[in-house]
Structure 1
Amino acid sequence: MEEEIEKLFQKMLDPEESEAYYFADKLGQKADEKVKDRLIELVADEDWEKAYLACRALSKTPWNEESLDAIFKVIYDRKNKLKQGAFVQILEEFDLSQRFVDIFRVYLFGNFKASTLAKDYLDQVEFEISPRTIRKAEKHWNHYLNNPEDADSLAIKRMEVEPMLLEMKELFS
């Protein structure tokens, strides 16, 4: 079994392999704790293509929360600002229902592609919302208001975010 896993890793990480996605999926389906840990290490790899394939493999494992923790860590890392979109795109393979605040942060502070994809998730995913979730989102919103990276998008985000936060608050009134 270990030999088979190693072959899957080699095939998935081979830059000449045209079926790398297939091998990533297969690896994720066969993953045990040891494989999961190795994949999570790969998520932070300097080669974003290897990291992306590791994310894809992780999406096929039962370790949703641990995998998402590693992926969001990479998304939030400033050195990955230009590659955020690819990592946000792979999130569609995961259960995001517990990750409203993380997606909201990407929407506020991500690059254009990441922010656009995050907005789609905010519109489409059914999130678990609590008063604590709302407070955390408001904290990030206030931080964004005080430190907007792009003054032009501030008005647009204000039109989208303020009604969203108000609607969520009304759920608990």
Structure 2
Amino acid sequence: MIEVEVKGYADDGVFERVREKFELIRKEYHEDTYFRHPCRDFAETDEALRIRVKRFDGHFEAFLTYKGPKMDTNSKTRKEIEVPISDPDRHAEILRSLGFEEVLTIEKTREKYYVDKGIVIDLDDVEGLGKFVEVECLTERSDIVEETVKKLREILESLGVKKFERRSYLELAMGKEV
């Protein structure tokens, strides 16, 4: 699966325009723990491996996610492989036993909104980084990535987003620490 994603910096005005224009799906709390590979540098290969724990409406979900290198220069579009897991602590223990090391945990509050068939907008308030808005679409077709990126970018621009960001929250957080 390919995750076509465009992200921008947001403020209260952008958050309000999204809330007024689109239908709330749900509010979630995320803890994303990223891992370092024992034999290759994900920073150099532009890959990521994480365990995400989502909490919403009194429920809990967890996923092990691999994200491949970004596929273009205008967005955060990547191959993504995500599988549900039932015990994130035990999965983290397996990864550590195989030589993977925890790098960082990113915590955020996310509001998910329905835009159109297959398109959602996320309002993210990321601990230590601030407010962002992401619009994304999942596809199996690499031939539509460019036109999809353009469409997603136009959606964000119509909401008042002026500054876009290709780096992941992990990359942003690691940059802040340097």
User: What TM-score results when the alignment is normalised by the length of structure 1?
Assistant: 0.25
Structure (1 or 2) with the greater strand fraction: 2
Structure (1 or 2) with the greater helix fraction: 1
Structure with greater Cα Rg:
1
Larger RCO, structures 1/2 (Cα 8 Å, 6+ apart):
2
